[in-house]
Structure formats: structure tokens, C-alpha cells
Amino acid sequence: MNALVELKSELRAISDLNAAAMVLEWDQNTYMPAGGATARGRQIALLSRLAHERRAAKRMGELLSELSATADEATVDGALVRRALRDYQRATKVPSELMEKISNHGSTLYAAWTEARSANDFAMVRPLLEQNLELSKRYAEYFEVDHPIDAFIDEHDPGMTAASLKTLFASLRAELVPIVEKLLAKPAPDRSFLDADYPQEKQLAFAAAVSETLGYDFDRGRQDLTHHPFMIRFSSGDVRITTRVDPRDFTDCLFGTIHETGHALYEQNIDRAFDGTPLGAGTSTGVHESQSRLWENLVGRSRPFWEHLYPKLQDTFPDPLKGVSLDDFHRAINAVERGLVRVDSDEVTYNLHVMLRFDLECAMLEGELAIADLPEAWNARMEADLGKRPPTNTLGCLQDVHWYCIPIGGAFQGYTLGNLMSAQFFAAATQALPDLEGQLARGEFAPLREWLTEQVYRHGATYFPDELIQRATGAKLSPKPFLDYLRKKYGPLYGVDFGA
């Protein structure tokens, strides 16, 4: 058999095994009864192990070595070989015994974390978290990197390193902190009308209708309820989103749905010929997050978007929104707050939450910050950045699951990269579509979606993030479009003069 044909057949099997594991995970998070948990964990672990064994198989190495010698990266097959080689190299770097140890320790730590978080007792997880840090360092040792976190960053956001991110985040931070200070000095917008009775069924129907209007294809997807919303892809024809509903606050369900719709629009619009290959997926965590944040914030929290949608929202929830003007509504959904919780934070302060985590995990991996000192380091930084000290560790260093279920490092930077990229893509789209604001105000989302499909979505993982951004926006990634966007939006909204 031709080596390329054999490679594609093997990649398809790996993709199908991963997809099967994901169906089991989706079910686990939506419909599975409690009694199914033990066996389900075992079933998912088996599928993941079988996929890993194929990804790291000797024959895979031989095929890739043969094919990459002659591959032309400018072709689709060349890009495919490049991605597959990268996956193979990552899969074979770390001994499977260590991988298994990390995975098992992650399950133990996760269970301890859920208890420690609700008991507000960091001591309950401290020894297990120390072990996780040790395992993370051992993992990183198998990579030839300048900084241990680079081993993890490369997995999620290829092309980025601790060094490049520290530079990028420093320049973002230098301009973001004064913006936050100026906005927080102003009176907070009235959000009282958001705390009212918003019936679950109406929320779900409204959110699904918005998702469909933005372009989510329900014939190739569906929406279900879960605790921690996510998007998940089983194939190009089956890309699902999930949501949750707070009956006293419709924004959780609505903006959460738009966020997951952004992820799903990316996956649903990847070239279907890439299905079953490593190209049939978003290219990085950061680029993926750029699409969820673009649709959630740059579109979904914009004034033009609500010009179109607000009357429909008022029709759906007449009681709580009676007499609330569009301007007041728009201010309320863009309130900037001194919040303690990342996932509830607004788009301005969000990046401070992310950079805090990134800096702390760098320090932990460098050996500069001991686990025992993590709670205080977290609280001190929150106080410095946002002027508010978490009253409990539950609202501090116990709030996010990441460090407590997977190795420490690399899982946070993508959120801020996504914010920066979202503004840079949106600025480029605005250049290409001069009437974009008008289109959004008329509920016409196809032009933006099609531009993004052409520039970003359809390529899947053909290009690495830096290549994709350069092609789509004509420039390297920069914090400038995001900072410009914040100033332009929040200046008028808060009556702040950010200068020229």
C-alpha cells in the first residue's frame, strides 16, 4: 500500500477512536446516570489508550519518516504529514508509564479538589498538588525546551513559548492596567434588572434561536444541558454545544451559548475533506478561543448586535425588561467589575485573571513559588491587580479546575491569546467588510461568518497559529487591536477619555 494511503487510514482510525471517547465524555456530562461513572471512566481510558498506542506506534514513525522526507508543506498532504509528525513526536516523547501516572494522579487530585474547594481547605489538596507539580516537572524534562512550561504551551498553542508570552503579556499589561483603573473609578452600571425571573424554557429557546441566526447548523449539531458548558466535535457532521441555565440571570445561558457557538462555527466550517485527519480540528487553543470570544464579545456584546436583537429579547422577557432602554441594557451587559472569579469576569479584567495564573504557574515550574505559598501569592496579586483580596481560597487559588486534574502549566495562556486574536481578526474583518457594523445591526451574520470561514475556519489545522494570523490579518499577533477595541468601546460607555 502507498505510504500516504496507509497513513491516512491509520489517522482515520485514531480520529474515530478519539471521537468515540468524546461521545462517551459528552454523554457523561449530559445524560449519564450517576451509577455509570466507574465503568465510564474505564471505557474512556481504554479508548484513549488505544488511540495513544496507534499515535505512537513504530509503523506510524516509519510512515512519517518516509513521507516527511519528500512532503511539500504547501500542499494539503504536506500539511497533513507535518501535523501528524508533530503529533507522533509529542506522543513518543514521554514514556507511557509517566503518562499513566499523571492521568491516575489527575483523577485522585480532581476528587480531592472538589472536596477541598467546597470545604475551603487548601491543606486538603496541598500534598497532592505538590506531587502534581513534581510530575509536571518530570514530564517537561522529556522536552528540549528553555522553560519547563514550554512543553505544555507547545501542546496547546504551538509557536508560543514562556519567553514570547512574557514579552507579549508585559506589553498588554502595561496598557491594560491603566484602562482598568480608569474604568473602575467610574460608577458601576445598573445591573439590577438582570436579577429577575427568566424561565428556563424561554432562555433555552431564545439562546438556540440566536445560535442558529449566527449560523450554527442544528442539522449537524445540537444543544444540551450540562454543568460546565463545552463544545465538542465527533465529526464534521456532528459538532455539539452545551449550556446551563440560571433562572435568575439569562446572561449565563445566552452568552455561554454564543461562546460555544463561536467554537462550533469554527469546527462546522472546517473543510469536510479534512474529516478524520489531524487537519480536521481547530489549530490551537488560542485560535479556538479567539472565535468563541469574537462571537461572544465583539459581536454578542456590541451595540449593533443588540440594536437588532433587543426588541426580540424584550418580547421574550417582557416583565423584567419593561422600561429598560437599549443603552442601559448595553451598559449592564458590559459592566466592568472588581471580580474575584475568572469565569464570571468581564472582557476588560479577564486578562488580568489569566496573566495572574500564567505568572504563578511559571513561578511554580521554575521552583520560585512553593505550593505552600500559592494561596498567599494568589491573594496578594489579586489585591495588587484588582484591589480586592479573596476572602477564601475557594474564591482564590482553588477556583479553577486546571491545576487539579492535569499537569500544571500551559492551560491558561490560550484565553488571553484568544482575546488578543479575536480583536485582531475582527479588525481585519472590519477592513474587508466596510459595512460590518451595519450588517450586525440588521442581523446579517453571513458576511462576517463567511469571511472568517475563508480566512480561518476552512483551513482547520493546516496552518500553525502564527501562519494563520499573518495570512488572515497581514500582521503578527499584537495586543494593539485588542487595546484599541477596549478604548473605543469602553471610553464612550463609561464616559472615560482615553486620549487620541
Which residues are annotated as catalytic? 260
Proportion of the chain in helix, strand, coil states, percent, rounded to 5: 70, 5, 30
Write the binding mask 188 to 227 for a second copy: x where contact by CB under 8 A, - elsewhere.
-----------------------------xxxxxx-x---
Q: How far is the CB of 45 from a second copy (least distance, A)?
A: 9
Instruction: Please identify, among the stretches 123-131, 237-245, 378-386, 434-442, the one whose residues bind a second copy according to the rule CB under 8 A.
Output: 237-245
Instruction: Please identify, among the stretches 95-103, 230-238, 452-460, 492-500, the one whose residues bind a second copy according to the rule CB under 8 A.
Output: 230-238
Residue 174 or residue 218: which is nearer to a second copy going by CB? 218
Q: How far is the CB of 222 from a second copy (least distance, A)?
A: 5
Name which of residues 388 to 407 contact a second copy (CB under 8 A): none
- DSSP-H helix ranges across 144-199: 148-156, 162-184
Task: Give φ, ψ of 365 to 5 degrees.
Answer: -70, -30
Q: How far is the CB of 312 from a second copy (least distance, A)?
A: 25
Residue 97 or residue 144: which is nearer to a second copy going by CB? 97
Write the binding mask 5 to 44 for a second copy: x where contact by CB under 8 A, - elsewhere.
-------xx--xx-xxx-xx-xx---xxxxxxxxxx-xx-
Residue 19 or residue 84: which is nearer to a second copy going by CB? 19
With beta carbons less than 8 A apart as the criterion, state whether 304 and 438 touch: yes
Q: Does the protein bind a second copy through residue 463 (CB under 8 A)? A: no
Residue 34 or residue 185: which is nearer to a second copy going by CB? 34
Q: Does the protein bind a second copy through residue 154 (CB under 8 A)? A: no
Q: How far is the CB of 463 from a second copy (least distance, A)?
A: 24
Residue from 148, 229, 262, 276 in contact with a second copy (CB under 8 A): 276
Rounded CA separation 233/207 (Å): 20
Q: How far is the CB of 235 from a second copy (least distance, A)?
A: 3
Residue 2 or residue 38: which is nearer to a second copy going by CB? 38
Q: Give the residue from 200, 253, 258 showing the smallest Cα distance to 227.
A: 253
- Find how far residue 476's CA is from the centre of its chain: 20
Q: How far is the CB of 448 from a second copy (least distance, A)?
A: 23
Rounded CA separation 82/232 (Å): 24
Residue 40 or residue 191: which is nearer to a second copy going by CB? 40
What residues pair up with 232 in beta bridges, in sequence order? 240
What residues pair up with 246 in beta bridges, in sequence order? 249
Residue from 199, 237, 367, 474 in contact with a second copy (CB under 8 A): 237
Q: Does the protein bind a second copy through residue 238 (CB under 8 A)? A: yes
What is the 3-class SS of 441-462, one letter each residue?
A: HCCCCHHHHHHHHHHCHHHCCC
Q: Does the protein bind a second copy through residue 231 (CB under 8 A)? A: no
Rounded CA separation 399/133 (Å): 18
Q: How far is the CB of 249 from a second copy (least distance, A)?
A: 27
Rounded CA separation 488/63 (Å): 52
Unique residue bearing C-alpha cell 480561518 = 456
Instruction: Please identify, among the stretches 118-126, 233-241, 296-304, 476-484, the one whose residues bind a second copy according to the rule CB under 8 A.
Output: 233-241
Q: Give the residue from 288, 292, 425, 284 showing the smallest Cα distance to 347.
A: 292
Residue 80 or residue 239: which is nearer to a second copy going by CB? 239
Burial class (CB in 10 A: 0-12, 13-18, 19+), 430: middle
Instruction: Please identify, among the stretches 63-71, 107-115, 228-236, 335-343, the one whose residues bind a second copy according to the rule CB under 8 A.
Output: 228-236
Q: Does the protein bind a second copy through residue 235 (CB under 8 A)? A: yes
Q: Give the residue from 297, 300, 387 showing the smallest Cα distance to 339.
A: 387
Q: Does the protein bind a second copy through residue 466 (CB under 8 A)? A: no
Residue 191 or residue 220: which is nearer to a second copy going by CB? 220
Pairing of strands 223-225, 238-243: parallel
Task: Give φ, ψ of 243 to 5 degrees.
Answer: -150, 175
Count CA atoms within 13 Å of residue 481 on its CB side: 25
Residue 234 or residue 445: which is nearer to a second copy going by CB? 234
Q: Does the protein bind a second copy through residue 234 (CB under 8 A)? A: yes
Q: Does the protein bind a second copy through residue 47 (CB under 8 A)? A: yes
Q: What is the CA radius of gyration of the chain?
A: 23
Count CA atoms within 13 Å of residue 282 on its CB side: 26
With beta carbons less than 8 A apart as the criterion, state whether 371 and 133 touch: yes
Q: Which three cell numbers stand for residue 292?
A: 468563541
Q: Does the protein bind a second copy through residue 93 (CB under 8 A)? A: no
Q: How far is the CB of 404 from a second copy (least distance, A)?
A: 25
Burial class (CB in 10 A: 0-12, 13-18, 19+), 144: exposed
The binding site for a second copy (CB under 8 A) comprises 12-13, 16-17, 19-21, 23-24, 26-27, 31-40, 42-43, 46-47, 50, 217-222, 224, 234-238, 240, 275-276
